[in-house]
Chains A and B, each alone.
Chain A
Amino acid sequence: MGLELEWELITKTLVFLINAIGIVLIFLVYFSNPRARLNQIFVAMTFLMFIWVDFAFLARLEGQAERSLLWIRIAWAITPLLFSFIYFFVIYLIRIEKKYKLLNIFNLFLGILFIFITLFTDFIIKDIKFDTGILSIIYGKLIFLGFGTIFYLTVLSFILLLRRYFTSSEKEEKIKIKYLLIGLSLFFLMNSIFNTALPVFLRIVHLYEFGDYSTIILLSLIAYTIVKKELFGIKIIIPAVLVSLITILLGLDVAVFTTELLIRLYKGLVLIIFLYFGYLLIKSVLKEIEMRERIKKAYDVEKKAREQIEELTEAKTQFIMATQHHLRTPLTSMIGFLDLLFGGTYGKVPVKIKQALLKFESSTKRLIRVVDELLDISQFQLGKEVVSLEPGTDILPILKEVIEELQFEVEYRDLYLKLEKIGKVPKIRADSEKLKVGLFNIVDNAIKYTRKGGVIVKCQIAKDKLQIIIKDTGIGIPKGEAGKLFKEAFERGKTAKKVHGFGRGIGLYITGHIIRAHHGKIWAESEGEGKGSTFFIELPI
């Protein structure tokens, strides 16, 4: 008796599990894409499994023989059709549904044909009997046709799957097919043993049900494939799987293992509460996934924009390089011919012409400097390393060169330009070429804005820094403008605009960049307009 009760529990549990897993899968698959043919076929396939398993189960529970026969016939009637649908599931899964159209119609027709034969004739199921409580089927004359059809459909599905498995180069698809092959073969093997071989040939009928229950293997493997490999394109969220599993277990407890009504009600209530919280959990997880996808999308957009900017920057660099070449090429030959003239290649140059040529040279050099500066600005704006610092750079020769180059202009304007060295000047890390440009700009600027007096350049150590001070007796800087001098590009005071309409505001801007690239500081001080200005440059030692 105890054994019988256990047996009943096992069969009940299995039937419940098949239904529960099936229902979860139907919901999952159908609602992931209701219009996809593969998903529809899966739903139909699972429904047919329900009919088969549930009606066979009912038939065994049923005490009345006549009704039991009807349930068994229904279960048997749809079985070939179930295998037709398994075939359809396979061909849609591996996308060969359009290849064998006639075969498809024939296979569907076979399944439907057996419904009628089984339900309305006794060619398949002749009768049933209960042998000491165990249901036993008396088969009809054409039962072998039924088995044959099932066998044929299974083998066909198998061959198609196997062929795809060996020809497919997609790793993911191969894995999916592998799982399905395992599920199908176990399902078919157990069916052949318990539903065919044992009862038909050996007359062992009490294990018959195991054949029906092997559907759980196929369903579980399909479920597993969905979870692991996104079969049907379903992205499974782990919390949803857990909630489903716990729901199935709780449901199993309520439906199968609980017999007392009150406890059943209580457990049912727990199940409902659990379902509600599970629903909330899944909803929040879904929301989070959506957020994550949105973030990813935003990131992708940003990434694309950045790539475009990089492309533009690259184009800009190319443009600058080309400009650099085009501007410098004629300047090179200009300065080159001047050099030839001065070198006497064309004979001795009269003093008067030589003086004119010197001015020509000075202007050409200035133009070269402007071109260099413009290019440097572009490079700075591109964030490129324009400055390469060399240790052991002596600043005094640089300052001397600057003063020498400006001497001509200073004399012309009747100003003075002096260099004052205070104490020992240490060597620093610097890019002598760029630093010269920077210092030149400041001194040049001081001369430009001085009409009387002159400029003194001082070089000293202050607070462990090398300090260069350029003090002029020029127009000065209006209060409040001195601080802005090295921040904004090309910004100039009002008086400066009047004095030099098209002055070189660019110079200070580029100098600021150069000094900062030397990890130094630059600023200007002035008592106000008309009171001269002092420029400070501090460089680390």
Chain B
Amino acid sequence: MKKTILFIEDDLPTVEVYKIALEHAGFKVETAFSGNDGIKKIKAKAPDLILLDFLLPDIDGLEVLKEIREQKDAKDIPIFILTNYTDEKLGQKGLFLKNEKYLLKTKYTPRELVEKVKKELRLT
């Protein structure tokens, strides 16, 4: 059974590069281009892990995060916040919630991210 990753991100090339890497590693990747779209998809079927961008066209990542954490089925899903912000406070804002990690996009290559995802889902 393939593990499902939901990637909530509005920049198409970014979506593509991580999607290819994750699919190459054997994951099933769902994508959502807006916060609300992402929440809808989580409600429909809870993924095994969520990759979340912070700057989204409708509601921002922090709101998405809160929304996810309020849902019974989704509240324990690991979340990686993928962002281009270096603002430390933003990271802390994300981290005060629960089991999410704050990752700077430019610091991790897609392959490194795949390794992190594998580790999180205990696939290695």
Contact = CB atoms under 8 A, between A and B. Distances in A.
Contacts of B88: 388
A321 B87 contact: yes
B17 interface: yes
The interface size bin for chain B is 20 to 34
B85 A345 contact: no
A308 interface: no
B84 A336 contact: no
Nearest to A339: B109
B54 to A, nearest CB: 9
Contact of B84 (A325, A335, A340, A343): A325
A331 B16 contact: no
A336 B87 contact: no
Contacts of B14: 329, 332-333, 336
B41 interface: no
Given A324-B86, A328-B84, A333 B17 contact: yes
Interface string B94-108: 000000000001100
A419 interface: no
Nearest to A334: B13
B110 A339 contact: yes
B105 A337 contact: no
Contacts of A339: 21, 109-112
Contact of A332 (B24, B84, B87): B84
B13 A340 contact: no
A340 B85 CA distance: 23
A336 B18 contact: yes
B56 to A, nearest CB: 11
Contacts of B110: 336, 339-340, 343
A368 B106 contact: yes
A333 B84 contact: no
Contacts of B55: 325
B contact patch SS: helix
Contacts of A368: 106
B11 interface: yes
B106 A333 contact: no
Interface in A337-394: 337, 339-340, 343, 345, 368, 372, 375, 388
Interface in A295-346: 321, 324-325, 328-333, 335-337, 339-340, 343, 345
Contacts of B84: 324-325, 328-329, 332
B21 A335 contact: no
Nearest to A364: B106
Contacts of B11: 329, 333
A285 to B, nearest CB: 51
Interface in A404-434: none
B121 interface: no
Contacts of A331: 106
B53 to A, nearest CB: 9
Interface string B6-45: 0000010110111011001000000000000000000000
A345 B24 contact: yes
A336 B85 contact: no
A389 to B, nearest CB: 13
Interface string B73-89: 00000000000111110
B86 A336 contact: no
Contacts of B87: 321
> A-B pairs with the 7 shortest C-beta distances?
A336-B17, A333-B13, A339-B109, A328-B84, A332-B105, A336-B110, A333-B17
Interface of A: 321, 324-325, 328-333, 335-337, 339-340, 343, 345, 368, 372, 375, 388
23 contacts: A321-B87, A325-B55, A328-B84, A328-B106, A329-B11, A331-B106, A332-B17, A332-B106, A333-B14, A333-B16, A335-B106, A336-B17, A336-B18, A336-B109, A336-B110, A339-B110, A339-B111, A340-B21, A340-B24, A340-B111, A345-B21, A345-B24, A388-B88
Interface of B: 11, 13-14, 16-18, 20-21, 24, 55, 84-88, 105-106, 109-112
Given A329-B11, A332-B106, A336-B109, 6 more contacts: A328-B106, A333-B17, A336-B18, A336-B21, A343-B21, A388-B88
